[in-house]
Copies of this chain bind each other. A is one copy, B any other.
Amino acid sequence: MNIRVGIVGYGNLGKGVQRALPQHPDMALQAIFTRRAIDDIDTGTPHVPVHAVETLPDWRDQLDVLLLCGGSASDLPEQTPRYAALFNVVDSFDNHAQIPSHRQRVDPVARAAQRVAIISAGWDPGLFSLYRLLGEAILPRGETHTFWGEGISQGHSDAIRRVPGVLDARQYTIPNDAALEAARTGDGPPLSPQQRHRRVCYVVAAAGANTADIEQRIVTMPGYFAGYETAVHFVSSEELQRDHSGMPHGGTVIRFGHTGEPRPVAHRLEHALRAGANPDFTASVLIACARAAVRLHREGISGCRTMLDIPPAYLSPRSIDDLIAALL
């Protein structure tokens, strides 16, 4: 099977797809589509053409699936329904509260076009959602705990950069060791996000800025840092670039549950991700979902799906006979 892929949007995630695709021998990148001026885009390779998104309708017969790599705030709510009318598509829409309404907008369009749209793919939402489903389906009496990190949080880094006197910043979200251990052993009450995580910030201050004031503004920032154990380290621009320019991330989903009456027996499932680069790993999940979208489409299935309602075998290039013989 050869799957012809188009990337829409050439930010961190689109570049991650470009880096991850060569690991998938059944997939071939045909073109990158952008809203920016085409001449401004350097893909690092002459083999991948860049086109304006307006030309996409001309590519209907030349692409099997589109990977939509825009943002959830404004790009995907508009792009996913639009392109699901023309192509099989995969997106990483991650505004949790709005996923049901996003799905309701995408599903009728994809059905009418007899295309498959897989939404909210990635690691959370996506793979971690699947882990949460498995945990509660197998061990219904229990608790699910999701931890994020250790890794760079883009939103929190941006929030620090908006503090007066800050030139640049990176923020690491780190699981609290005691909270992780409590989740593993089923001890204690459910914990809030503030109790499950701590935050470590590396900040470049402007010359002459009041660092005590900056630190105070960060640790008390509502919605981002207030209530969290937060450490602030001031570093030079060079140190930030040298030591904190990667985009590692990850997380852990723990299900702790019981079986048995009258003497309960405890069981634990623990699923952990360490991604060396967040965009590359998210892209890798999107690529597996792109394969599933094409395989479902070729079987005559249409509509909006998620990682929760795709048979996992469709994520793999191998046949079900092969998977059963090799992995079951």
Whether A136 contacts B320 in the complex (CB less than 8 A), given A23-B259, A306-B328, comes out as no
Is A232 interfacial (CB 8 A cutoff)? Answer: no
Contact of A261 with B327 in the complex, beta carbons under 8 Å: no
Cβ of A96 to closest chain B Cβ, rounded Å:
7
Contact of B308 with A280 in the complex, beta carbons under 8 Å: no
Instruction: Please count how many residues in chain A sit with their CB below 8 Å of the partner chain's CB atoms.
Output: 70
Cβ of A4 to closest chain B Cβ, rounded Å:
18
Contact of B309 with A132 in the complex, beta carbons under 8 Å: no
A5-49 CB contact bits vs B (8 Å, 1 = yes)? 000000000001001101111000000000000000000000000
Is A226 interfacial (CB 8 A cutoff)? Answer: no
Contact of B260 with A139 in the complex, beta carbons under 8 Å: no
Contact of B327 with A129 in the complex, beta carbons under 8 Å: yes
Q: Which of A282-320 contact B (CB under 8 A)?
A: 283-285, 287-288, 291, 306-313, 315-317, 320
Inter-chain CA distance A306–B311, complex, in Å, is 10
Inter-chain CA distance A121–B153, complex, in Å, is 38
Contact of B99 with A133 in the complex, beta carbons under 8 Å: no
Contact of A308 among B125, B132, B281, B311 (CB under 8 A): B311
Which 4 residue pairs across A and B have the least CB separation, nearest first? A265-B276, A137-B315, A259-B280, A19-B260
Sample 17 A-B pairs with CB under 8 A, ordered by A number. Answer: A133-B315, A137-B288, A137-B315, A138-B281, A138-B284, A138-B287, A138-B288, A260-B277, A268-B273, A270-B271, A308-B311, A308-B324, A309-B311, A309-B312, A309-B313, A309-B320, A310-B311
Q: Which of A's residues lie within 8 Å of B, judged by CB?
A: 16, 19-20, 22-25, 96, 99-100, 103, 120, 125-127, 129-130, 132-134, 136-141, 257-261, 265-277, 280-281, 283-285, 287-288, 291, 306-313, 315-317, 320-321, 323-325, 327-328
- List 14 other contacts, CB 8 Å, given A138-B284, A265-B276, A268-B272: A23-B259, A25-B140, A99-B328, A100-B321, A133-B313, A133-B327, A134-B315, A259-B276, A259-B281, A267-B274, A270-B271, A270-B272, A307-B328, A308-B327
